[in-house]
């Protein structure tokens, strides 16, 4: 081989081709695409269309009430139809049969248990306002004074959450879940690729031509690119929907959170992929892969659980800060914490640096384990054998 | 027998060096020949407490097929891995042209592992091109060589087929193609004939012989000693990680103390033979007598003596099999002939 890179590139090219041509790649990518499009389109379909309420009254509804309800409808995304009936019994019957959302007869509002709570409240508020205005005018207040009284607004209600933005922090949790799933998926794909090459003795031929690090990096990068492309298929429609259009009601910053999530996937992948590969090199038969990678999966799972419990419930706690900086949990914990908007930039940089440095150290360790373990066949290799030798 | 190896340039082989305890000193005195191929010098490899190779020495000359033989567990695969540079030995070195083999040298070598190392889902042609490219060939050159080689191996019509659609014998030939595509200077094969029928063995050995004739160093391991006896010009026989016998197969057999002269002699007892130096009577039945001939004793001289003693109506020289030579060289400890056949 002319250079280290050329050898690794050839290994990567072959593994990439094999992965992309595989049926599982096509199926998983298709599922990702469907999930992503569904995540963008479904909420629109579910919430799509304007809600129409029907108000039945004896005779035409008073114009002031119509005006008040129509104004509320314009800002609240609903419209109101008005039905004029001959008497109170007919109004009551319409509401009972579901032909009207509510009925207004003198100072009584008819509703059913199915009537949406907001419409009767709006209706009674409109009735009370109308009567109050009439009484104020009767009491001798001028139109300007009445308008002034009507302009009084209750104090603004702000829901105080544990994070800066509840919507954005949900993005963080989703990112954490997706990263955990992507790392588990990619890690197992790498482990299977390594164990297949070992069990078919291909690795024995490769190792006579290439250095272990070339085979390892080539395989890992190929599976990483495949998983990343699937992740992008999942993320891109969402990011476009959030960043470019107003289709999804999430803060603009969520798009940059998603971009950061892709970077964290890269780091988390670099950290875990080589460990998965080294663990898989210890097996003799392909059926032993899942038990061989179990300790790695366990560490990954522990990092994920800490991220979605400790970090999600209180992103500012000491435990959360540690979990978001500790390399093995940072790829899942930091995106969640970051989305809470409570992370100083130096902590993000520290977490990135530590994770990258640990990943580099693990590449060297995993290459050594991989190179030695590949040559021991006929039995499961103990980690102590290859680390000691 | 000398305790150090001697290279015979006429026969192109290293003559016998049984139970050496180390060859470094011997090699320092040896005049190395540039066409010597590969030289394995004092290689020791241990796995924990277990010694897999114990100061092992051998020479693999170019131009002939060299068999690395020995029973299962003798250290053959470990030795091949050390030669290939996959394992770094605890001690010793591998030389070519009198200097240590480098990683650059090994990139021009070809290797075929004991079990098939092929990508099951990859098309045949693509597989050969891929291994050619790993050895540094450009895509165009690799493709051209792949076509030529697959045609030679009668696999060209399967170019686009998936590898797992081929029969076992075809996959073995394909494996051979991946080891030869870059036209290697040295070809190393681990048990290449395992599980093959006699026709496939003949085909593969023909291809290897052709490569050897073109000056290539061809070393293959096998535990089937009698198969190797028919295929190889030169052998290195190892047991418990040590070389117990090496050299030209015909010479080893012909110069062995296990040769027997079979004579059908009329009208003579065995007393004439008992008087000869280096000759002992193995059996005597009716008119047939079997004589063991010690190394260095000329069987024709014994035949002349027999003809003086009586009328020789039939005779033949039975050379020992490699299995018999192995058992004699290894001291017979823990081995039986059946296990080596």
Say what the pLDDT of residue A48 is: 57
Tally Cβ neighbours within 10 Å of residue A147.
11
Tally Cβ neighbours within 10 Å of residue B108.
13
Instruction: Tell me how long chain B is.
Output: 341
Closest CA relative to residue B290, chosen from B328, B330, B262: B262
Is A375 a residue whose pLDDT tops 60?
A: yes
Q: Inter-chain contact B178–A205, Cβ cutoff 8 Å?
A: yes
Range ranked top by mean pLDDT from A334-343, B269-278, B293-302: B293-302
Q: Inter-chain contact A208–B84, Cβ cutoff 8 Å?
A: yes
- Radius of gyration of chain B from Cα atoms? 23
Closest CA relative to residue B186, chosen from B267, B66, B289: B66
Q: How far apart are CA A362 and CA A373, in angstroms?
A: 16
Helix boundaries (H) for chain A: 4-21, 23-47, 63-76, 88-97, 118-138, 143-150, 166-199, 202-209, 212-243, 253-280, 289-292, 294-306, 312-313, 318-325, 330-339, 345-373, 383-388
Confidence of residue A326 (pLDDT cuts 50, 70, 90): very high
Q: How far apart are CA B56 and CA B39, in angstroms?
A: 11
Q: How far apart are CA A289 and CA A188, in angstroms?
A: 8
Residue of A nearest to B85 (CA): A208
Say what the pLDDT of residue A355 is: 93
Q: Inter-chain contact A10–B111, Cβ cutoff 8 Å?
A: no
Sign of CA pseudo-dihedral B120, B124, B125, B128: positive
Say what the pLDDT of residue B25 is: 39
Say what the pLDDT of residue B7 is: 42
DSSP line for A294-355: HHHHHHHHHHHHHIIIIIHH-TTSHHHHHHHHSTTTHHHHHHHHHHTT---HHHHHHHHHHH
Interface test with A, best of B117, B133, B188 (most A CBs within 10 A): B117
Q: What is the pLDDT of residues B132-176, one digit of tens each?
A: 999 999 999 999 999 999 998 889 899 999 999 998 888 888 999
Is A2 a residue whose pLDDT tops 60?
A: no
Q: How far apart are CA B49 and CA A329, in angstroms?
A: 40
Give the list of residues 6+ apart from residue B190 with CB closer than 8 angstroms, or none: B76, B77, B80, B111, B112, B113, B114, B220, B221
Range ranked top by mean pLDDT from A125-139, A293-307, B313-327: A293-307
Is B228 a residue whose pLDDT tops 90?
A: no
Q: Say which range, A129-138, B14-23, B289-298, has the weakest mean pLDDT.
A: B14-23
Is B21 a residue whose pLDDT tops 70?
A: no
Eight-class DSSP state of B252 = H
Domain ranges of chain B: 6-253, 257-318
Say what the pLDDT of residue A246 is: 56
Contact residues, chain A, for B72 at CB < 8 Å: none
Residue of A nearest to B117 (CA): A202
Contact residues, chain A, for B79 at CB < 8 Å: none
Mean pLDDT, residues B180-191: 91
A387 interfaces chain B, CB cutoff of 8 Å: no
Q: Report the percent of chain B where pLDDT is more than 90.
A: 26
Q: Say which range, A15-29, A373-387, B159-173, B207-221, has the weakest mean pLDDT.
A: A373-387
At A219 the three-state DSSP class reads helix
Pairing of strands B242-248, B234-239: antiparallel
- Token pair for A47: 């919430």
Q: Give residue A337's Cα distance to chain centre.
A: 14
Q: How far apart are CA A184 and CA A187, in angstroms?
A: 5
Is A243 a residue whose pLDDT tops 70?
A: no
Q: How far apart are CA A270 and CA A3, in angstroms?
A: 22
Q: How far apart are CA B85 and CA B111, in angstroms?
A: 11
Token match 């063991």: residue?
B292
B206 class by beta-carbon count within 10 Å (0-12 exposed, 13-18 middle, 19+ buried): exposed
Q: How far apart are CA A330 and CA A321, in angstroms?
A: 9
Is A235 a residue whose pLDDT tops 70?
A: yes
Q: Is A366 or A50 the better-scoring residue by pLDDT?
A: A366
Closest CA relative to residue B303, chosen from B279, B319, B339: B279
Q: Report the percent of chain A where pLDDT is more than 90.
A: 10
Contact residues, chain B, for A3 at CB < 8 Å: none
Mean pLDDT, residues A311-332: 87
CATH architecture of B6-253: 3-Layer(aba) Sandwich (3.40)
DSSP line for B101-113: --HHHHTTEEEE-
Q: What is the pLDDT of residues B207-216, one digit of tens each?
A: 889 889 988 9
Is A202 a residue whose pLDDT tops 90?
A: no
Say what the pLDDT of residue B30 is: 35
Is B29 a residue whose pLDDT tops 50?
A: no
CB B227 within 8 A of CB B37: no
Say what the pLDDT of residue A308 is: 84
Mean pLDDT, residues B165-193: 90
Residue of A nearest to B106 (CA): A209
Mean pLDDT, residues B307-323: 86
CATH 3.40.190.10 fits A51-150, yes or no: yes
Mean pLDDT for chain A overall: 81
Q: Inter-chain contact A205–B131, Cβ cutoff 8 Å?
A: yes
Is A169 a residue whose pLDDT tops 60?
A: yes
Among 3.30.750, 1.20.1070, 3.30.70, 1.10.10, name the CATH number for the domain at B257-318. Answer: 3.30.70
Select the residue of A14, A205, A375 nearest B117 (Cβ to Cβ): A205
- Token pair for A280: 């898989």
Mean pLDDT for chain B overall: 82
A263 interfaces chain B, CB cutoff of 8 Å: no
Mean pLDDT, residues A28-48: 75
Say what the pLDDT of residue B17 is: 43
Give the list of residues 6+ apart from residue A176 with CB closer than 8 angstroms, or none: A304, A307, A308, A312, A332, A333, A335, A336
Say what the pLDDT of residue A369 is: 84
Q: How far apart are CA A226 and CA A27, in angstroms?
A: 13
Q: Inter-chain contact A208–B120, Cβ cutoff 8 Å?
A: no
Q: Is A341 or A209 the better-scoring residue by pLDDT?
A: A209
Q: Report the percent of chain B where pLDDT is more than 70.
A: 86
Mean pLDDT, residues A38-52: 69
Domain ranges of chain A: 51-150, 165-388
Q: How far apart are CA A85 and CA A99, in angstroms?
A: 12
ipTM (interface pTM) = 0.73
Q: Is A374 or A48 the better-scoring residue by pLDDT?
A: A374
Smallest CA–CA distance, residue B74 to chain A, in Å, is: 16
Say what the pLDDT of residue A249 is: 56
Say what the pLDDT of residue A139 is: 84
Mean pLDDT, residues A241-270: 70
Q: What is the pLDDT of residues B112-138, one digit of tens each?
A: 887 778 998 899 999 999 999 999 999
Give the list of residues 6+ apart from residue A62 with CB closer than 8 angstroms, or none: A130
Size of interface A-B (CB pairs under 8 A): 59
Range ranked top by mean pLDDT from A115-124, A244-253, B2-11: A115-124
Say what the pLDDT of residue A282 is: 86
Q: Inter-chain contact A205–B113, Cβ cutoff 8 Å?
A: yes
């Amino acid at each position: 081989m002319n250079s280290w890179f050329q050898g690794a590139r050839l290994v990567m090219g072959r593994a990439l081709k094999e992965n992309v041509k595989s049926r599982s790649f096509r199926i998983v990518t298709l599922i990702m695409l469907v999930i992503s499009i569904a995540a963008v389109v479904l909420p629109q379909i579910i919430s799509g269309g304007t809600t129409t309420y029907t108000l039945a009254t004896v005779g035409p509804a008073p114009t002031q009430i119509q005006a008040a309800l129509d104004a509320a409808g314009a800002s609240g995304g609903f419209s109101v139809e008005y039905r004029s009936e001959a008497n109170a019994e007919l109004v009551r019957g319409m509401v009972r049969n579901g032909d009207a959302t509510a009925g207004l007869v003198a100072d009584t509002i008819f509703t059913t248990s199915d009537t949406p709570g907001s419409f009767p409240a709006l209706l009674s508020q409109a009735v009370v306002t109308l009567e109050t205005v009439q009484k104020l005018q009767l009491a001798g207040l001028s139109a300007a004074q009445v308008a002034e009284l009507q302009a009084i607004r209750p104090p603004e209600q702000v829901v105080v959450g544990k994070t800066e933005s509840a919507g954005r922090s949900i993005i963080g949790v989703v990112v954490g879940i997706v990263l955990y799933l992507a790392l588990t998926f990619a890690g197992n794909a790498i482990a299977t690729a390594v164990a297949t090459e070992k069990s078919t003795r291909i690795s024995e031929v490769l190792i006579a031509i290439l250095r272990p690090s070339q085979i390892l990096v080539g395989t890992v990068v190929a599976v990483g690119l495949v998983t990343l492309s699937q992740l992008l298929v999942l993320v891109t429609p969402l990011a476009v929907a959030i960043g470019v259009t107003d289709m999804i009601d999430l803060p603009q910053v969520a798009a940059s959170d998603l971009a950061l999530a892709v970077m964290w996937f890269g780091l988390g992948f670099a950290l875990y992929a080589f460990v998965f590969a080294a663990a898989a090199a210890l097996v003799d038969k392909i059926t032993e892969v899942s038990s061989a990678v179990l300790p790695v999966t366990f560490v990954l799972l522990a990092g994920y659980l800490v991220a979605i419990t400790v970090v999600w419930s209180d992103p500012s706690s000491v435990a959360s800060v540690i979990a978001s900086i500790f390399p093995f949990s940072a790829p899942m914990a930091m995106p969640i914490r970051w989305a809470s908007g409570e992370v100083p930039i130096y902590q993000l940089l520290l977490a990135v640096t530590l994770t990258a440095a640990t990943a580099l150290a693990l590449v060297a360790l995993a290459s050594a384990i991989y190179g030695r373990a590949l040559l021991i066949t006929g039995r499961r290799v103990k980690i102590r054998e290859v680390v000691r030798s | 027998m000398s305790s150090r190896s001697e290279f015979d340039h006429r026969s192109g082989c290293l003559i016998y060096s049984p139970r050496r305890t180390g060859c470094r000193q011997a090699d320092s005195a040896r005049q190395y020949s540039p066409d010597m191929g590969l030289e394995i010098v004092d290689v020791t490899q241990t796995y924990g407490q277990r010694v897999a190779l114990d100061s092992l020495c051998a020479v693999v000359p170019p131009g002939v097929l060299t068999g690395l033989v020995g029973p299962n567990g003798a250290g053959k695969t470990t030795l091949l891995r050390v030669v290939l540079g996959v394992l770094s030995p605890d001690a010793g070195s591998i030389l070519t042209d009198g200097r240590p083999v480098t990683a650059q040298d090994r990139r021009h070598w070809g290797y075929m592992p004991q079990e098939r190392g092929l990508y099951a889902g990859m098309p045949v042609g693509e597989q050969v091109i891929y291994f050619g490219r790993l050895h540094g060939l450009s895509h165009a050159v690799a493709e051209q060589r792949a076509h030529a080689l697959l045609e030679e191996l009668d696999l060209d019509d399967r170019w686009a087929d998936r590898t797992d659609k081929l029969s076992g014998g075809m996959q073995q030939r394909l494996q051979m193609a991946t080891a030869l595509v870059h036209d290697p200077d040295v070809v190393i094969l681990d048990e290449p004939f395992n599980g093959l029928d006699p026709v496939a063995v003949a085909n593969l050995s023909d291809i290897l012989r052709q490569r050897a004739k073109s000056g290539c160093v061809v070393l293959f391991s096998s535990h089937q000693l009698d198969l190797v006896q028919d295929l190889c010009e030169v052998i290195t026989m190892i047991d418990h990680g040590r070389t117990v016998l090496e050299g030209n197969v015909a010479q080893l057999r012909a110069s062995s103390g296990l040769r027997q002269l079979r004579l059908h002699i009329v009208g003579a007892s065995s007393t004439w033979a008992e008087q000869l130096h280096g000759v002992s009577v193995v059996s005597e039945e009716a008119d047939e007598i079997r004589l063991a001939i010690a190394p260095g004793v000329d069987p024709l001289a014994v035949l002349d003596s027999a003809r003086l003693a009586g009328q020789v109506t039939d005779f033949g020289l039975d050379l020992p099999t490699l299995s018999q030579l192995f058992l004699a060289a290894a001291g017979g400890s823990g081995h039986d002939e059946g296990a080596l056949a």
